[in-house]
A and B are shown apart, each in its own frame.
Chain A
Amino acid sequence: MKNSRNFILYDSFKDIKSNGEFTGSIISKFQDKIIFSDNIKISDSEGIIITEGLIIGFEKKGNNIDPISRNSDFKWNLNEIPLEYSVKIPEDTMEQYDQGQFSNDFPFTINLLHTAGLLLNDLNFGVNHLNFFKGEILKNPVSMIRNGIIVADRVVIDDNGNPVFYDCLIVGRDKDDELNISYEPIVNVDDKVIVYIIILGIEELKI
C-alpha cells in the first residue's frame, strides 16, 4: 500500500492505508454518512478504530428518514472495512477555516439546537426546506455532494433557492478519483448535485 499525499490516511479506491495513530481534524466517509473525529488508529492487527467520533447522515426509521448526528466509537477489522476514505485536514487549512468563522455575536445567524435536515435529494423520502430558509444564515451546515463533502461555517440560501456555503472545507475526488482537500471562502452549489445538507444542532454537539 502506498500513500502519495500524507493527508490521506485511508482510501479504499486507491488502496492507500497509513498505519499509525493520528490526531487532528479527521473526516471519514462511511457509506453515505460522514464521520468527524479528532483521532483515528489504523493498524494491520486491529483494523481501524475511531474513538468518540460524530457520525452524520440520514437514517431510515420505519417509513421515515431522519437526519442524525450521533457520538459513537467505531471499529472495523481489515477484512470488511466499510469506510471509503479517511483524511486528516492539514493544520494550516484548519487555521484558515477557524479564521473565516463568523463571530458568535454576529446577529441574524440561526443556530439550531437540534440537528435537522435541510435538503435530501431522494426520490422516495426527499426533504427540501430551502425555500423556507431563503435569505437566512444557518450555522454549521454539513453537506454530502456527488463527489465529496462540504463542511462550512454557515450556509445562506440565495434568491434562486440555491445554497451558498461560506468558509468551507471541501473533501472530494477529482476526475482521476484522487482525493483532494481545499478551503474555499465561498462555494455556490446547484442543489441538484447535492445529496443532502444537514444543519448540525449545537446542543447535540455538546453531548
Chain B
Amino acid sequence: MLLFENKEQKLLNLLKFTGSPFKKFVSTGEIKEDIGLVQSRQDLLDSIINVLEKDENVILPIIGDIGTGKTHLYWALKHELYYYNIVYISLENVIKKFYNNTYSEFIENMGIEVLRNTIRRLCNKWGALERKFGFFHLADIEKVKKEAFEKWSPNFENKEAITDIITAITTHQLDPYKKIETERWFLGEVIDIRDLSRLNLQHDLRERNNAYTMLKVLVENAMVSSVLFIDDFEKILSMMRANPIEEQTEEVFDRSWLFGAMQSPEKRTADKILKKIINLNKIKGLRIIITLKSTEFYKEIIDKLKEKDSTLLNIVSDPIILSNFIKEDLTSFYKRNLEFFFGHINYFDYLKDFSNSSYPLNENVLKYIYNKTNGNPRGIIKLLIKIFNDIVLSSEDLEDILKKYQ
C-alpha cells in the first residue's frame, strides 16, 4: 500500500524525463496550435467574428506589436470558426505567382473533396444531370459548356480564363477518359503543352488570370465562406521603401537599367502585389484579415489604398488592436500550457493535484516574468523556456533555480 507519495518530486522527475513543456515561441501558419486564447482575448475574438459574420467582403486589419500573438490568433480563429474556410498566407511565400500560390493554399486547406463537390455541383447546375426520357443521364459536354458560358461569361472579366475553367469543369465531370489529367490541372500542377492541348485548354493555373478566375470560382461556389488571413502585411510597405539603389552595397548588375534610378524591382513587385490583393475584393464573399505591426503601418496602408481606389476604404473595417497580456492572462496561459502538456502525456493527476498551484513555478516567479516582459506573449514564452530548461537540465534544487527569477 502506498502510504505517501511526493507528488511534487514526481512532477519534477516527469519533467526531467519528458523535457520542457515550453518549446516554441514563434507561431507559424504551418504548424498547428491547439491552445486557445487567454480570457482577455476572448472578447477580441468575438468582435473579429462579428465583423466576419456579416455576409459581405471586408478587410479587417489586426494590429499588434511583434510577439503579441497575431499568428496564434489565426489558429484560434480556425478552431473557433471551424465552419469557415480560413486560409493563412504569409506574403513572403506568395510574392511570386501570387494568385497561383494563394489558390494552392486554398486547395490545401479545403481539401480535394471540397473541390470535387464544388465542380460536381456546378456541372449539375449547368444541366449535366439532365435526364433523357426522364431517366437516362446523357450529358452532352458541348451543350453543358454552352449553357455554362452563357450563364457565367457576363460575370467574368477575362473570357479566355473562364473558357478554360468551364472546359476543365465539364471535362472533369463528363469525360471519364480525361478526368485524371483535368484533376491535376485543378490541383495547380504544371501541365505540359501536349496535355493542355488534349484537354482543349489554353493554359494551366500558373497563368495569372486562370489562377485568379479559378480562385474566384472556388470561393464563390464552395459551400463554406472563406477568410484569407494575410500575415505580416506591412512587408508590402517595407518592400516599397527598399533602399535607393545608390545606398546599396556593390552590385554586379546595375538594377537602374531595369526600372530607372527611382524605382527598385522590390517596389514594383510590392505595387503589383498590392494591386492583386485589392483585386481579391472582387471575389464575392471573401473576407480578408491583414496583420500589421503598428498603427503607423495601418495609416500607411490606408493611404496606399486611398491612392489606388478610395472606394476601397468602405470595406476596410476598424482595426482591432492586439495588446500584451494582462497579469491574470499570464497565470491562465501558464496553467493551460501545463494542463495541455501533461494531458498530452496522459498524466491527468496534474489536473487533480496541482489545480490550485503554479508548481513548479510560484506566484513570485510569474510576477517576475510579467514585469520583465511587460506582458508580451513571445517574451513570456521565451522566459518560460529558459526557466523550464533550467529546471529540466540543471542539477540544482528547484528553490535555488527559482530564486534567480524572483
Contacts and interface: CB of A to CB of B under 8 A. Distances in A.
A203 to B, nearest CB: 10
Given A205-B138, A206-B138, A104 B133 contact: no
B154 interface: no
Given A103-B176, A105-B179, A38 B136 contact: no
A151 B176 contact: no
A150 interface: no
A38 B176 contact: no
B344 interface: no
B187 to A, nearest CB: 17
A200 B176 contact: no
A9 to B, nearest CB: 12
A26 interface: yes
Chain A interface main SS type? strand
A36 B133 contact: yes
A93 to B, nearest CB: 12
B176 A37 contact: no
A25 interface: yes
A25 B132 CA distance: 9
B77 to A, nearest CB: 35
Contacts of A151: 135
Mostly helix, strand, loop or mixed at chain B's interface? mixed
Interface string B16-52: 0000000000000000000000000000000000000
B176 A105 contact: yes
Interface in B73-132: 129, 131-132
A104 B174 CA distance: 8
Interface string B162-183: 0000000000001011010000
Contacts of A26: 134
Interface in A165-207: 200, 202, 205-206
Indicate the size class of the contact surface on chain A.
Answer: 20 to 34
B129 A98 contact: yes
Contacts of B134: 24-26, 36-39, 89
A25 B135 contact: yes
A52 interface: yes
Contacts of A103: 176
B137 A200 contact: no
A37 B132 CA distance: 8
B129 A200 contact: no
Contacts of B174: 104
Contact of B135 (A36, A104, A206): A36
Contacts of B131: 25, 38, 94
Interface string A139-169: 0100000000001000000000000000000
Interface string B348-380: 000000000000000000000000000000000
B346 to A, nearest CB: 43
A54 B133 contact: yes
A184 to B, nearest CB: 16
A140 B136 contact: yes
A18 interface: no
A52 B136 CA distance: 14
Contacts of A105: 176-177, 179
Interface in A23-81: 24-27, 36-39, 52-54, 71
A101 interface: yes
Contacts of B136: 36, 140, 200, 205
Contacts of B177: 105
A202 B136 CA distance: 10
Contacts of A89: 134
Given A205-B138, A206-B138, A38 B133 contact: yes
Interface in B136-163: 136-138
A53 B132 CA distance: 9
Contacts of A71: 133
Nearest to B129: A98
Contact of A37 (B133, B137, B138, B179): B133
B119 to A, nearest CB: 13
B176 A101 contact: no
Nearest to A107: B176
Interface of A: 24-27, 36-39, 52-54, 71, 89, 94, 98, 101, 103-105, 140, 151, 200, 202, 205-206
16 contacts: A24-B134, A25-B131, A25-B134, A36-B136, A38-B134, A52-B133, A53-B133, A54-B132, A71-B133, A98-B129, A103-B176, A105-B177, A105-B179, A140-B136, A151-B135, A205-B133
Given A39-B134, A89-B134, 7 more contacts: A38-B131, A38-B132, A38-B133, A38-B134, A103-B176, A205-B132, A206-B132
Give 7 nearest A-B pairs by CB, closest first.
Answer: A105-B176, A38-B134, A25-B134, A36-B133, A54-B133, A104-B176, A36-B135
